[in-house]
Amino acid sequence: MTFQYRGKRILVTGGAGFLGSHLCERLLDVGAEVLCVDNYFTGRRGNIAHLLGNPLFEAMRHDITVPLFVEVDAIFNLACPASPIHYQLDPVATTKAIVHGSINMLGLAKRLKCRILQASTSEVYGDPEIHPQPETYWGHVNPIGPRACYDEGKRCAETLFFDYRRQHNLPIKVMRIFNTYGPRMHENDGRVVSNFIVQALQGRPITIYGSGNQTRSFCYVDDLIGGALGLMKTDVDVTGPINIGNPGEFTMLELAETIVRLTNSSSTIEHLPLPQDDPQQRRPDITLARNTLGWEPTISLEEGLGRTIAYFDRQLGLQQA
């Protein structure tokens, strides 16, 4: 049985974050009532300020490492710091947010007998030995490295979701998110798109870690949210994991050169040492998403970067005013 959003009460954890705020907005657009839960560790009130006047929207400050007792019809579990700078700041707290948070949200879903979607990540593939990465690939992850709090935390969360499915017949959905960008990203979150754009707009050197030949795939946020909404609506037998990302693949040098051109910047490129366990390649195989959800991204890198550059240009202008 598929799921309809109109008239349903939907819980979005991490709802004031980059992805969460866009998801809350889209859910309201399709007639859902939204409960946004966030502890504001990386989420920002400014991301949801424009939603607060909507009578179908409610914002609650809460840390999901503590159990939550509410009545909802479905849960999108997005709560977790997602950039290396943020999740490595307090790695123990990161693991707790992912693992304890997942246990609490799964417990809530079990009590309510409602479907729940886990925002997992392409980081479960680690530094992949298979390219592009299909959902059947088990990954190549360092379990004790500086990224492990996030990588292994998300892998453990997937384990919990599937064990709740097997043990309690819980209707789960697992979405593996590949690099996503767009308005409302943190300007200082350390991720490559926001880093490059801010540096280019300010005329500072663009910092590339390593040779710049490592590759990533970049999905614009509107496309990603469309995939999440589509996955949640599927029949209960469709659990995932499903890759949601853009299969276009670009080197860091190509990305930097594109951003310099689009911003008409005078920035030069500066190379810094590559961080430990940084993946050399990352590209989703989205065959399953195409076949199961009828989903694929539609927004090109240049179009998405143009929108994101305009957002950061406004933000930086406000900060300087």
How large is the angle between the packed helices 252-263 and 301-320, nearest 10 degrees? 60
What ranges do the domains of the chain cover?
A: 9-181+220-245+284-298
Where the chain has pLDDT below 70, the residues are: 1, 83, 85, 277, 318, 320-321
* Tokens coding 161: 């979701």
Residue 49 CA to residue 71 CA, distance in Å, equals 24
Mind giving me the DSSP string for 67-124? ------SEEEE--S--SHHHHTTSHHHHHHHHHHHHHHHHHHHHHHT-EEEEEEEGGG
Which residues lie closer than 8 Å to 234 by C-beta, 6 or more apart? 2, 3, 173, 292, 293
**Alpha-carbon Rg of the chain, whole angstroms?**
19
State yes or no: is 150 an active-site residue.
yes
Query: So what's the architecture of 9-181+220-245+284-298 in CATH?
Result: 3-Layer(aba) Sandwich (3.40)
DSSP state letter for 205:
P
Q: What is the pLDDT of residues 132-189, one digit of tens each?
A: 999 999 999 999 999 898 899 999 999 999 999 999 999 999 999 999 999 999 888 7
Amino acid letter, residue 253: L
Residue 63 CA to residue 116 CA, distance in Å, equals 18
With the C-alpha atoms ordered 92, 18, 78, 154, is the resulting torsion angle positive or negative? negative
* pLDDT score recorded for residue 183: 97
Alpha helices in the chain (DSSP H): 18-29, 45-48, 84-87, 91-112, 148-168, 192-201, 221-233, 252-263, 287-293, 301-320
* pLDDT score recorded for residue 190: 76
Question: Backbone phi, then psi, for 55, in 5-degree steps?
Answer: -65, -15
As a residue count, the chain comes to 321
The residue with tokens 């999740």 is 87
| Active-site option among 5, 87, 125, 150 | 150
Residue 172 CA to residue 158 CA, distance in Å, equals 10
Q: How many CB atoms lie within 10 A of CB 204?
A: 14
Question: Backbone phi, then psi, for 295, in 5-degree steps?
Answer: -110, 140
Q: 72-87: buried (b, 16+ CB within 10 Å) or exposed (e) per residue?
A: bbbbbbbbbbbbbebb
* pLDDT score recorded for residue 277: 61
* pLDDT score recorded for residue 193: 94
